[in-house]
């Protein structure tokens, strides 16, 4: 099975598609038109790699729709999820990190629609488009900040607090209100949650089962819903 459908140019795509996204929100319509005319697009199925860790960083990407898991490969060859990225953000921005290879693998957590540009256009985007550089480096800073917070949590918090904080971050970033609470708006397994919190699958399963009995979360078929956010905040600060 192909990991993505064929490239499709977007010559007639409306400029409003990018106008609300921070890296492009300060630009005029004709500037966005120029950017779109240089882009390629792909529709990716869920669970496939957009790019691989260590590969030459030949393109950078804008996630138009869907979610992406950022995965690192350990020395033992195991995949470990380090971040989740929602739609509306740039990915594969190795140039912003001073790298010519991708530092991690990006795997679609859902079906996704992605724009991409050749990396040789990066310097021109930074030089010519107001807000592109500042918003890009703000994105880098936010992701580094999230990783630093998780390092502090792993050093100072009990596992119950870490898992509670991870769920709070996910509903803050990708939460969708439904009748019974706030649902994490993409499939996430208990294994992935254990990787995000540096604990075991058994421990995450035990905690989620306990929280379900207490009416704090519901978990089924790779979907997690927080039914009592306040109780989860209390657990995160216990």
Distance, CA of 15 to CA of 205 (rounded, Å): 45
SS3 220: strand
pTM of the model as a whole: 0.82
* pLDDT, position 148: 87
DSSP state for residue 216 in the 8-state scheme:
S
Query: DSSP for 53-104?
Result: TTSB--EEEEEEES-EEEEEE-TTS-EEEEEEE-TTSEE--GGGGT-SB-SS
* pLDDT, position 11: 46
- The full set of domains in the chain, from first to last, is 16-147 (2.60.120.10), 157-236 (1.10.10.10)
SS3 238: coil
Mean pLDDT taken over the chain: 90
**pLDDT level of residue 2 (50, 70, 90 thresholds):** very low
**pLDDT level of residue 12 (50, 70, 90 thresholds):** low
Of 33-37, 73-77, 97-101, minimum mean pLDDT range: 73-77
* pLDDT, position 205: 95
Q: Which residue has the tokens 């995965």?
A: 71
């Amino acid at each position: 099975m192909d990991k993505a459908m064929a490239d499709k140019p977007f010559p007639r795509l409306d400029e409003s598609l990018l106008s609300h996204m921070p890296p492009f929100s300060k630009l005029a319509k004709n500037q966005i038109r120029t950017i779109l005319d240089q882009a390629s697009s792909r529709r990716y199925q869920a669970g496939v790699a957009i790019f691989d860790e260590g590969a030459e960083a030949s393109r950078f990407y804008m996630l138009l729709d869907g979610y992406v898991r950022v995965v690192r490969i350990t020395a033992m060859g195991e995949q470990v999820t380090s971040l989740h990225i929602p739609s509306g953000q740039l990915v594969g921005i190795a140039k912003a990190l001073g790298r010519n290879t991708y530092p991690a693998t990006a795997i679609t957590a859902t079906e996704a629609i992605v724009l991409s540009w050749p990396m040789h256009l990066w310097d021109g985007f930074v030089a010519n488009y107001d807000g592109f550089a500042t918003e890009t480096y703000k994105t880098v800073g936010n992701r580094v900040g999230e990783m630093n917070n998780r390092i502090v949590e792993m050093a100072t918090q009990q596992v119950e607090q870490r898992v509670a904080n991870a769920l709070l971050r996910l509903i803050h970033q990708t939460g969708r209100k439904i009748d019974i609470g706030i649902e994490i708006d993409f499939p996430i397994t208990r294994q992935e949650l254990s990787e995000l919190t540096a604990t075991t699958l058994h421990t995450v399963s035990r905690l989620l089962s306990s929280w379900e009995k207490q009416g704090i979360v519901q978990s089924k078929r790779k979907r997690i819903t927080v039914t009592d956010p306040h109780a989860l905040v209390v657990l995160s600060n216990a």
